Structure 1
């Protein structure tokens, strides 16, 4: 099981000459791509984020992928 949090802190990552904050949503997207690339089933997941919009976005993304 994987537990996601939306807000990962004040870490910024340099992406093509600009800075971008990565979130748990980015991690969920990466997990989906990894699962597709290696033909793996998505593991069970939970989102413990206190950010209600971010939490809903992560759960919706992963649920839609699992149901597809």
Structure 2
């Protein structure tokens, strides 16, 4: 269901039902704290996953003409 479809359904509801929907959304968000609070990052989790080759700075074959 898209946001537009949901909004259309919500717009058609009577005021009392809109209030109940709003209260329900608030209760869902209160239960799921991860929606409101992003997790803290942990430094160093990627250590050792990337390595650089010894020949990284060597010229690339076929590009000699472009370096001048």
Give TM-score, length-normalised by structure 2.
0.30
Q: Which structure: larger Rg?
A: 2
Greater share of strand? 1
TM-score, normalization by structure 1: 0.30
Question: Going by fraction, where is helix more abundant, 1 or 2?
Answer: 2
Higher relative contact order (CA 8 A, sep 6+): 1
